[in-house]
Amino acid sequence: MTADSASFHSLNVIRDELVATIEQAARDLEMFVSEGGDPKSFQSCISGIKQIIGIFRVLEFKSASMLAEELLATASTIKPGESGPLFEKQLELVSSTFFVLSRYLEYVQQTERKFPVLLIPYINELRKFRREPVLPESFFFQVNINSNPLPPPTDAIDVSDKDFMPLLVRLRHMYQLGLLGVLRDKQVKASLGLMRRALIRLQRLGNDKPLASLWWMANVAIDVMIQQQMEMIEPRKMLLSRIDRIIRQVQKGGRSSYQAAAPKGLIKELLYIILLSGHQSDTVNRLKQFFGVRALPYNERLLAAERQSLRGPSAHTISSLVRVLKLEINNIKKVLETAAQGVHIIDDVPGMVSTLTKVAETMGVVGLVGPSSILKEEIKLVSQWRNDQEVSDDELHRCAKVMLYMESAVAAFEFDRLAGDMLDTSDESQNQIIAQSELAQAERIVLQECVAGISLTKRAITAYSESNFDHGHISNISKTLNSVRGGLIMLKRPKAASVVQRCADFVDEVLMQSEHPPALKELLETFADAIISIEYFFDTSNIAAKLDDSVLQVAEESLAALGYAPRKS
């Protein structure tokens, strides 16, 4: 409902070239500015942006292509010789957008998550600069809004025509009073409650009329905003303001206005807010069923963490920090191990505290807030130790367990890109993170062995072909492939294991036979296609859980052409 249709694998293939194009366009812009408006540099920058747009369109990266299109529209208005605050703001926006595009590509590749909603704030910044309408939060949310309204609960207010308008005026005034507090960020919770009260009565005033469904959904949306403590960002303030304009239309048109259908755009926005909240209730389930939608793949809290991740350090920076953290943690573990095996004495407690403090601060900087707070609590206890004074087994074991958790948290952050608040501080969560980290490390080792086995197979097949089909080069290939198959079974990849099994069967039953089959060279080419497809399968991710079975199609087709179609698992 909410994701781009871009392929991770297509992106992986061309990402480096795409990032190089983005960086070159950014350099052309810098040269244009530094050289006082060089038209050649400016035209190169514009051409680069157009090329970027074309690549994103081919990749079906709708969100990134939209951001690149807004970048082109904004950059195209730059004029040589201009100066002043507005010009500086324009250059800043264009330059920062180049960075966002590169960072988003890296983010998608790291996390293998495609949340186009993350780019809406950046798209809107460029649109606002050009004074164009901004995109709503739900822009990338796809849902079919039925023309028939969802009937709200009926609890009608019986009001005469004479009393209808005075009551409507009072209700609008109540709504506006709450809206004013929200717009000014003053007493937001109380203000939202006031708006809810007005909407509930507006709904009851309309009873079962079509427009009453709008007031009911708006009331539900505001309720979940309060329940989940959702941030009142600008698009949400604009949404609540749009509802006030509908109330004004009813005030102008009178009671008959309730017969009008609720605006589909508003219903979509409200539904998106309700789903984004992650709130669970019978009412929310009723809305999901009526509109035929499922829960979003993210909620408000996760989206906030992902936005922070997008703004955060690059993969290169994270890898550098992780290396430093691992080194420091390992040094502390060695100190503890030495003390535990000896006289239970720490020679340099202040030095150990200094190292732990540095680790805790670094973890806080990269977003590992939970682990950082745990380590800071441990530092308070370690600070009570004294040089040349014996430390008890329990204290050493406690500190060692904390360091093991720090090591696991860092590993989880590096490979799975976990946000800091996703690493809970409870004992149960710590044990789970440690266990998951150990399992993930074991899986990575198995994965590396599988990759090495396929690489060895490729080299052996090449040597076999170049040696005029000398069996000595492939005598161990079947054994190697079976080892790879075993690894894939351990990684719970039965489909890939079946493909590798059929490769081993082909080697045993065809290539290792004393008599060469007809057209052996062509058979080897087809077999090589299968091996390369398996290699590409392993290249799709360095994490076993994210390997994509769909890329094995070429291998399956190649083996089928050889008469060794994989068996259904």
The answer to whether the Cα torsion of 212, 215, 221, 223 is positive or negative is negative
Banded pLDDT at 434 (limits 50, 70, 90): low
The full 3-state SS of 104-170, as one line of letters, equals: HHHHHHHHCCCCHHHHHHHHHHHHHHCCCCCCCCCCCCCCCCCCCCCCCCCCCCCCCHHHHHHHHHH
Share of the chain above pLDDT 90, in %: 30
Indicate whether 478 pLDDT > 50: yes
User: Is the Cβ–Cβ distance between 108 and 8 less than 8 Å?
Assistant: yes
Indicate whether 224 pLDDT > 90: yes
Indicate whether 71 pLDDT > 90: yes
Please tell me the pTM assigned to this model.
0.65
The answer to whether the Cα torsion of 182, 185, 186, 190 is positive or negative is positive
Banded pLDDT at 504 (limits 50, 70, 90): very high
User: Is the Cβ–Cβ distance between 535 and 559 less than 8 Å?
Assistant: no
Indicate whether 541 pLDDT > 70: no
Q: Which of 178-182, 221-225, 307-311, 425-429 is predicted least confidently?
A: 425-429
Q: What angle do CA 71, 103, 2 make, to 5 degrees?
A: 80
For residues 223 and 258, give the distance between their C-alpha atoms in angstroms, rounded to a whole number. Answer: 23
For residues 501 and 479, give the distance between their C-alpha atoms in angstroms, rounded to a whole number. Answer: 11
Terminal C-alpha separation, the chain: 30
**pLDDT (mean) for 441-454:** 86
Banded pLDDT at 342 (limits 50, 70, 90): confident
Q: What angle do CA 298, 112, 481 make, to 5 degrees?
A: 135
The helix (H) or strand (E) run that includes residue 277 is helix 264-277
User: Is the Cβ–Cβ distance between 548 and 8 less than 8 Å?
Assistant: yes
Encoded tokens for 272: 């998106």
The CA–CA distances, whole Å, from 25 to 18, 39, 73 equal 11, 14, 15
What is the structure's pLDDT at 417?
A: 47
What is the number of residues in the chain?
569
Neighbours of 180 (CB within 10 A): 12
69 vs 469 pLDDT, higher one? 69
Question: Burial code of 33-43, b = ≥16 C-beta within 10 A, e = fewer?
Answer: beeeeeeebbe
What is the structure's pLDDT at 427?
A: 58
The SS3 assignment for 345 reads strand
Give Dmax (Cα) for the chain: 102
Indicate whether 271 pLDDT > 90: yes
Indicate whether 423 pLDDT > 70: no
In the beta sheet, which residues pair with residue 345?
390
pLDDT in tens, 174-220: 999 999 999 999 889 989 999 999 998 898 888 778 888 899 999 99
Share of the chain above pLDDT 70, in %: 90
In the block, which residue shows the tokens 């709503």? 136
For residues 516 and 510, give the distance between their C-alpha atoms in angstroms, rounded to a whole number. Answer: 8
Which among 225, 169, 227 has a CA at the least distance from the CA of 201? 169
Q: Which of 99-113, 144-158, 210-224, 497-511 is predicted least confidently?
A: 144-158
Indicate whether 563 pLDDT > 80: yes
pLDDT in tens, 92-118: 899 999 989 988 888 887 777 778 899
Which among 234, 235, 242 has a CA at the least distance from the CA of 217? 242
pLDDT in tens, 6-46: 566 677 778 788 889 999 999 998 888 887 777 888 899 99
For residues 492 and 415, give the distance between their C-alpha atoms in angstroms, rounded to a whole number. Answer: 19
Q: Where are the alpha helices (DSSP H) in 467-519?
A: 477-490, 494-506
Q: Left, alpha or beta for 136 (phi > 0: left; psi -120 to 50: alpha)?
A: beta
Question: Burial code of 443-475, b = ≥16 C-beta within 10 A, e = fewer?
Answer: beebbeebbebbebbeebbeebbeeeeeeebbe
Encoded tokens for 374: 């745990």
Return all residues near 124 (Cβ < 8 A) that are at least 6 apart: 134, 135
Encoded tokens for 238: 């604009």
The SS3 assignment for 203 reads helix
Helix axes 393-416, 427-466, angle to 10 degrees: 50
In the beta sheet, which residues pair with residue 390?
345
The CA–CA distances, whole Å, from 547 to 326, 452, 538, 552 equal 26, 16, 7, 10
User: Is the Cβ–Cβ distance between 113 and 306 less than 8 Å?
Assistant: yes
User: Is the Cβ–Cβ distance between 270 and 284 less than 8 Å?
Assistant: no
For residues 256 and 447, give the distance between their C-alpha atoms in angstroms, rounded to a whole number. Answer: 68
User: Is the Cβ–Cβ distance between 264 and 244 less than 8 Å?
Assistant: no
For residues 115 and 7, give the distance between their C-alpha atoms in angstroms, rounded to a whole number. Answer: 13
Indicate whether 382 pLDDT > 70: yes
Q: Is 301 exposed, middle or buried (0-12, 13-18, 19+ CB in 10 A)?
A: middle
Indicate whether 421 pLDDT > 50: no
